[in-house]
């Protein structure tokens, strides 16, 4: 049985992501882990509360999370495990993933802003750091089925078989058509040898999954992907968050991060 983590801070984005994923996996065999990170507020720290008072605060938060998990179980018939954590988000989420052996993390995504494009937020930070598939659900996303999946990848960089297997599993689970979308600046680049090798690997892995390729030339990768999402009536966008070195990351705006904060369809990121 697969376990799915849903991160919540009880905000509108988190509640929407929770409702969305329950609709996506309705009728499927899985368990839910409801993750919530609760740290002492600055006011509590400044008040220098006693250890006993701090313990009571966390006990209250734990009770709130437990009751919410029970409500989800009762409403959807899905076993839901509450997981309350305190500390750094990345450390605690990594611990939760290992302890629960979860296969997917679901997070809400706030509306796009200039600050998010440049600096990101908790969801985009998780995408860049965590080694688990992450489904980012924007507030504008509405579930009407998963009929078309757009896999935007860099054919020249190549795609590992492990990632292709995960994409294949997701497409086959929902009997969706998979579009492999490749963007280069020139026609000559579309025909690079490395890209052809990646295509052969994809052909080898996909098996009976219904899929097709679409190659386009464009100097604006993000715009090209957004346009294709609209034209193809995509239900889910899949991307690989490529890693960059420390210095280049200071000035490089991740295309994955920009897509995550600027869509009305969910984004599934699969790390390498």
Spell out the domains of the chain, with CATH numbers in brackets. 2-138 (3.40.50.620), 148-234 (3.40.50.620)
Closest-CA residue to 269 (of 111, 78, 107, 133): 133
Is residue 239 within 8 A of residue 166, CB to CB? The reply is: no
Residue 58 in this model has a pLDDT that exceeds 90: no
pLDDT at residue 16, as a whole number: 94
Q: Phi/psi at 179 (nearest 5 deg)? A: -105, 120
Beginning with the edge strand found earlier in the chain, give each strand of the sheet holding 2-7 in spatial order: 80-85, 30-37, 2-7, 104-109, 134-138, 267-269, 236-239, 148-152, 177-184, 211-217
pLDDT at 118: 38
Q: What is the pTM of this model?
A: 0.85
Average pLDDT, integer, range 29-53: 73
Per-residue model confidence as pLDDT tens digits over 171-220: 999 999 999 998 877 666 556 656 788 888 899 999 889 999 988 888 88
Residue 72 banded pLDDT, cuts 50, 70, 90: very high
Nearest to 128 by CA among 246, 12, 4: 246
Least-confidence region, from 44-48, 62-66, 183-187: 44-48
Higher pLDDT, 234 or 221: 234
Express each pLDDT in 85-120 by its tens digit.
998 999 999 999 999 999 999 999 876 543 444 344
Longest CA pairwise span in the chain (Å): 68
How many residues belong to the chain? 272
How far is it, in rounded angstroms, from Cα 237 to Cα 263? 9
Residues 6+ apart with CB under 8 A from 187: 217
pLDDT higher at 167 or 260 = 167
Q: What is the C-alpha separation between 155 and 103, in angstroms, rounded?
A: 25
- The closest of 117, 130, 113 to 35, measured between CA atoms, is 130
pLDDT digits (tens, 9 = 90+) for 108-165: 987 654 344 434 467 878 887 888 999 999 888 889 889 999 999 888 777 888 999 9
pLDDT at 247: 40
| Average pLDDT for 50-66 | 80
Q: Which residue has the higher pLDDT, 3 or 185?
A: 3
């Amino acid at each position: 049985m697969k376990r799915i983590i849903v991160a919540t801070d009880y905000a509108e984005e988190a509640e929407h992501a929770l409702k969305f994923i329950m609709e996506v996996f309705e009728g499927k065999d899985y368990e839910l882990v409801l993750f919530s990170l609760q740290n002492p507020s600055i006011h509590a720290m400044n008040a220098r509360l006693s250890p006993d008072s701090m313990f009571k605060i966390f006990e209250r938060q734990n009770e709130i999370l437990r009751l919410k998990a029970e409500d989800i179980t009762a409403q959807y018939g899905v076993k839901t495990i509450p997981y309350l954590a305190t500390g750094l988000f990345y450390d605690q989420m990594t611990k939760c993933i290992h302890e629960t052996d979860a296969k997917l993390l679901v997070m809400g995504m706030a509306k796009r802003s200039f600050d998010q494009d440049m600096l990101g937020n908790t969801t985009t930070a998780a995408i860049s750091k965590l080694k688990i598939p992450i489904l980012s659900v924007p507030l504008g996303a509405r579930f009407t089925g998963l009929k078309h999946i757009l896999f935007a990848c860099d054919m020249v960089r190549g795609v590992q078989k492990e990632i292709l297997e995960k994409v294949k599993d997701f497409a086959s689970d929902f009997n969706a058509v998979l579009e492999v979308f490749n963007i280069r600046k020139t026609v000559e680049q579309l025909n690079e040898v490395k890209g052809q090798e990646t295509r052969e690997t994809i052909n080898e892995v996909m098996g009976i999954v219904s899929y097709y390729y679409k190659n386009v030339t464009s100097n604006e990768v993000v715009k090209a992907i957004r346009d294709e999402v609209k034209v193809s009536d995509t239900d889910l966008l899949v991307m690989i968050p490529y890693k960059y070195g420390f210095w280049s990351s200071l000035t490089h705006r991740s295309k994955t991060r920009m897509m995550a904060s600027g869509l009305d369809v969910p984004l599934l990121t699969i790390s390498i």
